[in-house]
Amino acid sequence: MKEEKYIEILKQLENPSRVEVMLIDGYDVIMSSKNTNDTIDWFRVNSRKLEDYLIKHNQRFFYVLEKDGDYDACIYLYIGQDLTRIDMERLIEDYQKRCPVGLKYFLENSHFNSIEKSKYERKKTTLEQILLQKSSDVIEVLEP
């Protein structure tokens, strides 16, 4: 898709400055503008609208989750009209061969909201688990 189309859709989403569109291995990829794992909440809030837009414009998409042990995953959304699962599996296989020990890649071709949370959220620390057990009210803050 042309850059204007991405600008058009990102302007409709909350906090578009959190992400950027990069060309990686010949595909458009929406990822954190800081290349960190800070987009989980952004995708939770914006993924449905973004996915609907891509489907409407005949674009295929796949999520790639880059997980490093117990840390939150870095999330990449690969987009392409002719993108196939086979293409993505080859990319993931190549990435896995070149990545440092402990870094794992997962491919998801479903909507973000249907991806199992354990694949992208870190495990709670022992201290967090104790505090959650002792707390009376827990408020989850989503930051798009």
Structure tokens at 58: 């005949």
Supply the pLDDT for residue 122. 67
Supply the pLDDT for residue 58. 93
- Structural domain count, the chain: 1
In this prediction, residues 60-65 reach a mean pLDDT of 94
Expressed as residue numbers, the domain containing 129 is 3-134
d(CA 2, CA 57): 12
Residue 128 lies in a domain: yes
Residue 45 lies in a domain: yes
Supply the pLDDT for residue 23. 92
What's the start-to-end Cα distance of the chain, in Å?
24
What are the tens digits of pLDDT across the range 75-94? 999 999 999 999 999 999 99
Residue 141 lies in a domain: no
Beta carbons within 8 Å of 108's beta carbon, 6+ residues apart: 62, 63, 64, 65, 115, 119
What pTM did the predictor assign?
0.81
Residue 53 lies in a domain: yes
Band (pLDDT 50/70/90 cuts) for residue 29 is: very high
In this prediction, residues 117-129 reach a mean pLDDT of 72
